[in-house]
Amino acid sequence: MKRANDIFSSLGTTVFTVMSQLAVEHKAINLGQGFPDSNGPNDVRAKAAIFLDDQPNQYPAMMGVPELRDAVAAHAKRFYGLDVDWRTEVMVTSGATEALTASLIGLINPGDEVVLMEPLFDSYLPIVRLAGGIPKLVRLTPPAWELPRAELAAAFSAKTKAIVINSPMNPNGKVFSADELAFIADLVKRHDAYAICDEVYEHLIFDGGKHIPLMCLPDMRDRCLRIGSAGKTFSLTGWKVGYVTAAPALLQPVAKAHQFLTFTTPPNLQRAVAYGLGKDDAYFRTLADELEHKRDLLTAGLRKLGFGVATSQGTYFVSADFSKLGFSGDDMDFCRAITVEAGVAAIPISAFFEGDGPSTFVRFAFCKQDSVLTEALDRLARFIAKFQIR
């Protein structure tokens, strides 16, 4: 029998699914896959139910329902001062995952180079390769996760088509500084490239930090595809409603890819997200404040247990170094051990690297009820005490 596609045949199941399944099997608290354990805002869900009932349920417009495209444009103006024409510059997708895929396959020609930063979200690399792109990987290393500027500059060439930038960054909670963004923008412009900006955690920023879309930097407006996700902004990860904002000439090929990937996204969910994006500033502030409190709770608890934890500036996640705990084994061994023996699941950070990555860091998600985080810390404390005696 002939082999199926080599790229996908050689891949394992995503680490998020693997760890979630292991967590279910062992009745573990799942601090692995990033999803909140609340059910999202009541009013947004109620709107989805109403719109399901009293609005059309046939194929909505391929680019997305006008209400949501308009709301995405208004949101960009309100939070970032960006002027966006919803008719020609906004497209709705089935989650940011589809937006990323459509953007990559809509932009890349075989042989184009694409600059990616490790640690990286798991869908980037296979899709770059599927499109025939040549990945140029640049590593950020723990615990500080600083941008290695010389290496990044060296990764760009005349063949560079695009860079993918994820800020706030999964899995390490890094928020790129204004200075780092300016450095990246300069490279993009000098090499006549594009930037695919994965900004799904744009509203999950802590300590008074402000999200800066790369698109807002001088002369970057027409070079960026800005991607957002209602899953993160409304704690509704199962809805899979995403959106891409870009200049018309850049969005058009991406829309051509989208029309053959999913074509549309459930119309009631799109309309409910349009309502959500119009919520008052207090909603967005509270979302970040509540998560910041959870970050603090988990970070303090992990540090007390002996983990090395760099402060997460945004996202749902902290990365924690277990090398001082006396555990022998790598990050995958550690994640399996804490899932099976302690009843707490996490994600090995090496899964976000191609080849050998750092081997003593794990990612914990803190988007959970306080009582769940406290219970997870108690379980980890008992586990650590046990193996330290052995």
Nearer to ligand PMP, 131 or 325 (CB): 131
At residue 99's C-alpha, the angle toward residues 94 and 103, to 5°, is 150
Number of residues that bind ligand PMP (CB under 6 A): 13
Minimum CB separation from ligand GLN for residue 282, in Å? 26
d(CA 156, CA 105): 20
Q: How far is the CB of 95 from ligand PMP (least distance, A)?
A: 3
| Min CB(315)–ligand PMP separation in Å | 7
**Segment 211 to 230, residues that bind ligand PMP, using CB under 6 A:** 229
14 binds ligand GLN (CB under 6 A): yes
Helix, strand, coil: what percent of the chain each, to 5? Answer: 45, 15, 40
166 vs 268, beta carbon nearer ligand GLN: 166
User: Is 317 in a helix, a strand, or coil?
Assistant: strand
22, 145, 293, 349 from 332: Cα distances, Å: 12, 20, 28, 9
User: Which of 29, 34, 115, 235 touches ligand GLN by CB under 6 A?
Assistant: 34
CA–CA dist 80, 14 (Å, integer): 34
Residue 87 token pair: 């008719």
CA gap 169, 309 in Å, rounded:
16
The CB-of-257 to ligand PMP minimum distance in angstroms stands at 15
Does 170 engage in binding with ligand PMP (CB under 6 A)? yes
**Alpha carbon 239 to its chain's center:** 15
Confirm or reject binding of residue 242 to ligand PMP (CB under 6 A): yes
Nearer to ligand GLN, 51 or 364 (CB): 364
Residue 328 Cβ vs ligand GLN, minimum distance, rounded to whole Å = 27
Angle in degrees, 0-180, between the axes of helices 370-389 and 281-304, rounded to the nearest 10: 20
Q: Which does 240 bind (CB under 5 to 8 A by kind): ligand GLN, ligand PMP, none?
A: ligand PMP
Least distance (Å) from ligand GLN to the CB of residue 214? 20
**Footprint of ligand PMP on 79-108 (CB under 6 A):** 95-97
Binding string, 152-181, against ligand GLN, x = CB under 6 A?
------------------x-----------
Q: Which is nearer to ligand GLN, 88 or 262 (CB)?
A: 262
Candidates 18, 28, 33, 133: give the one binding ligand GLN (CB under 6 A): 33
Nearest approach, Cβ of 279 to ligand PMP (angstroms)?
A: 18
Nearer CB in complex with ligand PMP: 231/343: 231
Question: From the CB of 172, what's the least distance to ligand GLN, in Å?
Answer: 11
322-331 long-range contacts (CB < 8 A, ≥24 apart) are 322/360, 322/361, 322/362, 323/360, 325/384, 325/388, 326/387, 326/388, 327/387, 330/359, 330/360, 331/358, 331/359, 331/360, 331/361, 331/362
At 82, the amino acid letter reads L
Q: How many alpha carbons fall within 13 Å on the CB side of residue 105?
A: 17
Alpha-helix residue ranges (DSSP H) falling in 207-363:
230-233, 248-261, 267-277, 281-304, 331-337
Distance CA 67, CA 46 (A): 17
Instruction: Spell out, one character per residue from 8 to 47, where the chain touches ligand PMP: x when CB under 6 A holds, - when not.
Output: ----------------------------------------
Q: Of 188, 202, 191, which is closest to residue 231 (Cα–Cα)?
A: 202
Member of 231, 343, 348, 358 binding ligand PMP (CB under 6 A):
231
Q: Does 60 bind ligand GLN (CB under 6 A)?
A: no
Separation CA 229–CA 201 (nearest Å): 8
Distance CA 347, CA 15 (A): 7
231 binds, among ligand PMP, ligand GLN, none (CB under 5 to 8 A by kind): ligand PMP
State the minimum distance, in angstroms, from the CB of residue 231 to ligand PMP.
Answer: 4
The binding site for ligand PMP (CB under 6 A) comprises: 95-97, 121, 166, 170, 198, 200, 229, 231, 237, 240, 242
- Which positions lie near ligand GLN, rule CB under 6 A? 14, 16, 33-34, 170
